[in-house]
Amino acid sequence: MEIIRIPIDELTPDPQNAKNHPDWQIEQIVASIEQFGNLDPIGVWGDQNLIVEGHGRYEALKVLGYQEAECIRLDWLTEEERRAYALAHNKLTMNSGFIPEALSLNLDCIQAIDMSLFGFKDAADWFQRDERWDDSRQEGNDEYNEFLEKFEQKKTTDDCYTPDNVYEAVANWVANEYGLDRSTFVRPFYPGGDFEAENYDGKVVVDNPPFSILAKICRFYIDHGVRFFLFAPTLTLFSADFPEICHVCTSAQITYENGAVVNTGFKTNLEKGIAVRTAPELNAVIQEADKENTQSDEALLKYDYPANVITSAKVSRWSLYGVSFKVPRAAVKRISALDAQKAKNLGIFGSGFLLSPAQAAQAAQAAQAAQAAQAAQAERAKQAALAAGVDDADINEAGQVVWKLSERELSIIDELGRSERGEKREGDL
């Protein structure tokens, strides 16, 4: 790409530009250019220097009094490609979000720059719908407003409140595991609460914090010597690691009071010198408590059925692997439970169908075909990996690539082993 300078007054905004740039966004772009400089050239097309992408920057440069703009030419695009690229360029910037803990950590590290100029009020704010979105609503135009709602950012798990019995299970485990007095436990995370203003003298925080600012919370507690045992999402449990933190892996599925179901682990500074651990007993008591809130013991059992019985889950799996299967209405009878199940007040989840002998044989063939297709799929994945240059030894039976450690990583592991054994590292005197 060759960057050229073109006078501002020789640029032509696209009269059919589909991207909306409200005044408040132009103000943010202006602030960005003032803070960091103009780092992104404008894409132009044709003899009239029609702006393909960069309308917001164009408006901001005019506000700042720029006489010229850095640009790149896109003349090799056809008319159709120019329109398609303009839409794709704008849409792609809207198709991703932020990793909550990484965002919080980065914002915490920025002290000298006012990030509110660019739309960040604080780490949690980014994950709530911007109040200014309402400026684009149209009163009485329900169809238009419903369209806008599709692009609103959704709430995170910050509004998840822990059911009492789940919290009691966790708190009792923490008290027993670490020899703590339950009366010292404090829960600072509640609507309108200010965790930074809480009195933590002699207290231990055992609570479910807003996940989007978890890194900020951990950093605050560590800096202020506050002991804590915090709920955290399993998926990002290892994010925003600190030397003082132990990551307690339970993968306990918790159904929170707002209905959100989240696989949950924990972060704590009560576990000295340990980076990662499991807690089977904690997992068990959480699951038992969650079961009380959601379903009966029987619903947790897993069933299998004779060849003469099909369920939607079973047939759906055949469809997943491309197996054709049709059964005529005259050859089936819908049932909600087998007689053996009825005697125990159990049933088939979602109901099922009894099959005639001939159709049962067809179903058995379909099951075998699905199994073969699954194996073939794994083999294709393996061959695709081989074609991509992955060694055969690096592919498991399911066709998954098994990544290997580099010499550098093996060296780090060796040094970790020495450190764990208390041996001197290379270069130490």
Give bridge partners of residue 53 from the DSSP assignment: 43
pLDDT at res. 80: 92
**Alpha helices in 338-395, H assignment, sequence order:** 339-342, 357-387
pLDDT at res. 276: 85
Pairing of strands 309-311, 352-355: antiparallel
DSSP letters, 266-304, are EEESSSTT-SEEE-HHHHHHHHHHHHHHH--TGGG----
Task: Judge contact between 166 and 286, C-beta under 8 A.
Answer: yes
Instruction: State how far the Cα of 260 lies from the Cα of 258, in Å rounded to an integer.
Output: 6
| Sign of the C-alpha dihedral computed for residues 32, 34, 35 and 37 taken in this order | positive
pLDDT at res. 126: 40
Where in the chain are the domains?
4-92, 158-294, 305-429
Give the pTM: 0.44
Instruction: State how far the Cα of 54 lies from the Cα of 40, in Å rounded to an integer.
Output: 8
DSSP run (H or E) holding 246 = strand 246-255
Instruction: State how far the Cα of 398 lies from the Cα of 395, in Å rounded to an integer.
Output: 8
DSSP run (H or E) holding 221 = helix 214-223
Pick one of 3.40.50.300, 3.40.50.970, 3.90.1530.10, 2.60.120.260 as the CATH number of 4-92.
Answer: 3.90.1530.10
* Residue whose pair of structure tokens reads 């164009």 in the numeric block: 58
pLDDT at res. 413: 82
pLDDT at res. 154: 39
Contacts of residue 82, defined as CB under 8 A and 6 or more positions apart, other chains included, come to 45, 50, 52, 74
Give bridge partners of residue 254 from the DSSP assignment: 262
**Residue 89: exposed, middle, or buried by beta-carbon count in 10 A (0-12, 13-18, 19+)?**
middle
Contacts of residue 297, defined as CB under 8 A and 6 or more positions apart, other chains included, come to 291
DSSP run (H or E) holding 79 = helix 79-92
Task: Say whether 69 sits in a helix, a strand or coil.
Answer: strand
Residue 176 structure tokens: 């027993």
From first to last of the 429 residues of the chain, give the pLDDT tens digit: 799 999 999 999 998 898 888 877 888 899 899 888 889 999 999 999 999 999 999 999 998 889 999 999 999 999 999 999 999 988 887 766 667 667 777 777 777 777 777 777 544 444 433 333 334 454 455 554 555 554 444 333 445 678 889 999 999 999 999 999 999 999 998 777 789 989 999 999 999 988 778 888 998 999 999 999 999 888 777 766 788 989 998 867 888 766 677 788 899 999 988 888 888 899 889 988 888 876 544 444 567 788 888 887 788 778 777 888 888 888 888 888 888 888 877 777 667 888 899 988 988 998 898 888 878 877 777 777 677 776 656 766 656 777 778 888 888 888 888 887 877 655 554
Residue 152 structure tokens: 């609103």
pLDDT at res. 67: 92
Instruction: State how far the Cα of 232 lies from the Cα of 135, in Å rounded to an integer.
Output: 35
Contacts of residue 246, defined as CB under 8 A and 6 or more positions apart, other chains included, come to 267, 268, 269, 270, 271, 274, 275, 276, 277
DSSP run (H or E) holding 59 = helix 55-63
Task: Judge contact between 166 and 290, C-beta under 8 A.
Answer: yes
Residue 297 structure tokens: 């013991």
